[in-house]
Amino acid sequence: MTFVTAVDHPLVTHHLARLRDASTPPTEFRALVQRLAVLLAYEATKDLRLTEVEVQTPLTKTTGHVLQQRIGVVPILRAGLGMVNPVLDLIPDAEVWHLGLYRDEVTAQPVEYYSKLPSAGPVEVALVLDPMLATGGSAASALAALRRWGVPTLKLLSLIAAPEGIAALEAQFPEAQVFVCAIDERLNDQKFIVPGLGDAGDRSFNTVPNTAK
């Protein structure tokens, strides 16, 4: 099993270029996030199990196949919210469970402020949604919570990732799978992805400080 998959597709490359552009307005940024989330989800769900069913067409009966597993969509608040609807469009019966995490700007460590996971009955496959995988701290906290819940198959969908974040997750969660649109060069001294795309949450929800250059 490959730990990380960088989706190599012309549409991914095309949309990602515009997503990175600092001049892209929030409305377009949100639309680009959604388009890329669809392409990531397509790749990440290739191995979902199917079960056979009988289907009555307008002409005759035939055999079809439907998803067999319970699937959970787990956005990391708040930036992950922008990836939820396109994934639900593909998997309408998926369950949605929220995890609230933010990075402390001083320590660069994740801080959990919200968790909406039940104590029993874990889903079979969890698709964790977080646009950016930087240090891996928030993603690691989310995957750890899902592991404690008892989810057997863990998948993280991120638009861009830093090598440092990928290495950190692989060391802690070798059983997981990570799907990204691009693996960037590195983290800078402030633990931001370079070349990156800025703060995905701020750019999605139009909360970029007025002092930003």
Enzyme catalytic residues: 103, 107, 199, 202
DSSP summary character for residue 78: T
d(CA 29, CA 22): 10
Cα→Cα distances 95→81, 125, 154, 181, Å = 14, 10, 14, 24
Do residues 177 and 152 lie in contact, with contact meaning Cβ atoms separated by under 8 Å?
no
Do residues 160 and 132 lie in contact, with contact meaning Cβ atoms separated by under 8 Å?
yes
